[in-house]
Structures are given as C-alpha cells and as structure tokens.
Structure 1
C-alpha cells in the first residue's frame, strides 16, 4: 500500500518519503510558491503521474474537492487509467448545504468546488462516507444521478482496535490521571498537526471565551510557533 500526499498544508514535508507499519508514505513536491491555482495543478499532476506509475489495483481518493479530486479527474481522462476502480472518500459535505455555505471562498472557486463535488461523487466507482448522514445524502445524490446507491458504504473516521483499547483504559483512570497532573478544571486536548494559518482564529476565540479551561496541545506542523 502506498499513500500519496499533497503537502499544501504541511510545506515542511515536501518531497519526504518514509515507511510506517508496511505502508509507504510519499509527499509530492512543492515549489517556491505554497498556494494558488498553479500549485494545486502541479500537485494534482504529480499525484496522477505517480498513481499511474504504481499501477495499483484500486485507488482510494480522499475528498471530492481540491487537489485529490483534480487528480481523480486527470486519471479519468487518461486511457490507461480511465477504467481503473477509483473509490472516493466523502468525509464532509463540501458543496451547497455544506462547507461552501460557511467558508468565504471567492465566487469562482465556489462554482468550481460545487462542480468538482458533484462530478466526483458521480464518477467514483464506489464511495466511502464518514457518517450515516453522509451515507444517506450521498446515496440520494447518486440515485438522482443515475448511479447505484448500493455503492456507498459507511467507513467512520477513527482509530483501530488496539488504540481504542488504550483509550478505554485511560478513560477508566480519568480521575487518577487528573489528580496526578493536578488538573481539576475542564481540559481540552488536541493532538495532531497544526497547518500554517489554518483555523487558528477559531482556537483563539475558544480560548478567550473559556479562560478557566486548561489547554493541552501536542502537535507538529508549520502552524506551531
């Protein structure tokens, strides 16, 4: 298995590759520019070219908009990969009725993203969704577009069983852990990656509104300063 990553929100990882638990991770290359249409086109072309060279049996594409969906469009236009099984992951409703109504994208970008999502959900061989609500909406859309609603499957985000077991053990020791660290007030813990200039205003607003809360951030990324 190989995971291809467009590192537009983690520029420090450009070109990096590594193996983790038998899975090959490969970041595409960013040039001097870190954002903009030219960057997205370059990343999408790199994803499509590398996917063709790998000659996979199945490609699982994450998000029906953005760079990955553009790479999917490029793959569908190439005779060598036109009939390849392309499975699309739908973890958010990006178009009308979803994030498109919330985020302040320019009008042209909104039109393009709306087209992208609708095209990708129709063109995919099968679709995985992160929630029952998304399964229902995607099945309804596919049926209205003349595609089989039975090709939409629930695949929730979340850890594997060993990690779930660790969480269960930690939950059982919640009060003991609080006492150990001296944490008696409400706690918010974030673990993961903090991209540069990405929703940090939301976190800052929450911190101002909850002055008594203890924040524990365990993260890497270009947004960590």
Structure 2
C-alpha cells in the first residue's frame, strides 16, 4: 500500500510530525508499505524545498512562497504525483486542513481521489 501523510507543519518545535507521524510511517514501511510525509515547513523554513528519506520514509518539504493557497496547491501536487492508496491528514488544520477539504470536495464531486 502507498500511504501519504499530509502534515500541518514541519519537523521543528511541534512534536506531532517527528514524534508521532514519522514513527508511524516508519512502522508502515517496516511492514512492506511505501510512505511519504508532505510537509509545509513554516516552522522550519530552512527545510523548504528539500527532500530526504529517513527510515524509508520520504520527507518532502514544499516551498513556502506565495501564501497558503499556493503552499496547499504544492502539497496537493506532491500528493497526487505519488498516487497514494490512502492519504492520512495529520491534524487537519492550516495547510493540512485545506488539503483535507480539497480532497473531500473532489471526492464529493465524484472525481478520483485517494481514500482519506
């Protein structure tokens, strides 16, 4: 299974992504699945535009320029490019909340989207 996590913030001061989401994704990889975390790194802006793999999990930090709408669009592009079976929206607030809303609206309109 191909799982993409949409995070609300980066790997900095908040503990949700590095203490909960990353270990969960790593456990899924250990069980034979693919996993990526799409991150709007507003709390760690030096990470913007970078990608790395940690414990088999792709960490994708989108660029931050252009405001919330463009950052959300970049996250959606990364999600769709990975063709996930499941999108796990981590704390649906800020950018992650906008991603969840967009994917839900697409599904409601009958457009093909991964399972939320």
TM-score (norm 1): 0.33
Query: CA contact under 8 A between 1:48 and 1:72: conserved in structure 2?
Result: no
Secondary structure (helix, strand or coil) at the match of 1:60 reads strand
Aligned partner of 2:64 in structure 1 is: 30
User: What CA distance in whole angstroms lies between the structure 1 residues aligned with 2:41 and 2:54?
Assistant: 18
Gaps of 5+ in 2: 1-34
User: What CA distance in whole angstroms lies between the structure 2 residues aligned with 1:10 and 1:42?
Assistant: 18
User: What CA distance in whole angstroms lies between the structure 1 residues aligned with 2:59 and 2:92?
Assistant: 21
Query: CA contact under 8 A between 1:2 and 1:25: conserved in structure 2?
Result: yes
1:76-100: CA deviations, max 9, x gaps?
Answer: 233121xx321xxxxxxxxxxxxxx
Matches within 5 A, 1:85-96: 85-86=115-116
Q: Is the counterpart of residue 6 in structure 1 residue 40 in structure 2? A: yes
Query: CA contact under 8 A between 1:7 and 1:13: conserved in structure 2?
Result: yes
1:86-133: CA deviations, max 9, x gaps?
Answer: 1xxxxxxxxxxxxxxxxxxxxxxxxxxxxxxxxxxxxxxxxxxxxxxx
CA RMSD of aligned residues (A): 1.3
Gaps of 5+ in 1: 32-37, 87-225
User: What CA distance in whole angstroms lies between the structure 2 residues aligned with 1:10 and 1:69?
Assistant: 19
Secondary structure (helix, strand or coil) at the match of 2:67 reads helix
Deviation (angstroms), 1:17: 0.4
Matches within 5 A, 1:1-225: 1-31=35-65, 39-78=67-106, 79-81=111-113, 84-86=114-116
User: What CA distance in whole angstroms lies between the structure 1 residues aligned with 2:90 and 2:68?
Assistant: 15
Bigger relative CO (Cα 8 Å, ≥ 6 apart): 2
